[in-house]
Structure 1
């Protein structure tokens, strides 16, 4: 063995050792958080907010404009109440959502907040992408989620102007904080799954009589939500489920999701989620971790290229991941670049 070769091998072993130590440290931190940290912590004072707008007519393609207007007015009132309470950040977030240019299908400013925003003409779309966010997505941080959905819509509209597409940013559940016990367990996903299923059914109805093909684009903890929802989506036009930046789904394989939809997965080269141990264990009555890595061969997903980006870069304009997600939404599956 030459000196240069030996040095290279020692360097590789060193990197491998550091990676293993990091994984062990991360695992220890996750287990500590799940078992030792208290289940409740101090939170910001409750922000006063109005109840959601009460629509006088059922939600149909013909009443979408009315629903958008009612929810914008509700956001305006929420902004006023938040400002009176002294919460400048929430007031600004609500005020942005109340802009005449926004299409809010659902809105609820209570607590951490819920919002479902439409980009494009949902009633006449033949292809709809529904974005499901991960940890730390609330009304206070909603702007970055809006930016991601808007980037995808702009990509679809610019590259394929003749295809009737719509994008929906679905913040329809209480996402966990990244550093919390809730982010390590499937509890929030279990609560979110019926809500997501109900919304997909709503999309199916709103795009009738020829329901649109729906793609679920799920990020981070949102991939756990989509995995929980997948078996319930039969007959609702969901053709594809993309898992990006996933900590695992709670399923050992894509087949275990029990769906006819194509299952895709991707991870950016600089995504810290790669260091999260893919464990799945029951500790003191609590299920911790989400099991098999969706980009690993044993899981069996269609793995596509995401480029060099980090955990928050999957919808960055010009990125490989955004290009591939757009192709998935459009049904151009043979054009998707594989990892």
Structure 2
């Protein structure tokens, strides 16, 4: 029941991690809603290349993203995003008339902003965080049919100075499946790489996300800012429908290479297959305890998908990335 979408894949993390640049760019991508050959549905950056989850969209605080959306399916579809700013015309709901009929097109505009004080002196938080998007009209006016069938994806909004990962994986708990797959690829890293997890929950049930051998801070980035940071350090987090969070870990830090399990810790859920492996390899590609299942060679991609920038060049570095690998994180 396990699948994960991945972006990135470089050599072991540098001594000083690269950081996110300042935002403020206006970007544009094209996205398609498609029926998949197995009867499910997905979003993609190119026709015929939709994936579950859909492309991971990466932005920096202050960026604006225009999404030229085409619905190739035989039912109405839409895009609705959590955590970002948009006008009602980009809400992606039937009630606002911002959905797209079969064969139709629409431009959705998502904006992000930096933190700061309001005119009344109160503090307005910024857009930085781990968010997500999904359909809101397939099946019902709440998009229940679209979400169940795979019309969802992740959004990462970074703040200037946030450490950038070597690899990013999107994991979606959807009822009793992960990424709508009964069984699928595990996710991989080399000892010392900085790995980012984008974790989203959909469906009818509450779950927990637990990872063996690795811990993270329960805050916006999953990283401690220093020895006085009061954030709890955890390895298990309760999640419910429409929740999203993310974090970064250094693969194998303090524990070494190995086949590290991740799973829902509701026992009946993990027994039903909500579990997978975080395969942390040595530099030679071997994974202790998982012989015969070494890392892919450099350049091999993960599961499907593609990559694009918000400037519309299909192979550039990272504003929107699908389930395959991309080379970096653009500014």
Relative to the length of structure 2, the TM-score reads 0.29
Question: Which has the larger share of helix?
Answer: 1
Identify the structure with bigger relative contact order (alpha carbons < 8 Å, sequence gap 6+): 2
Which structure is larger by alpha-carbon Rg, 1 or 2? 1
Question: Which has the larger share of strand?
Answer: 2
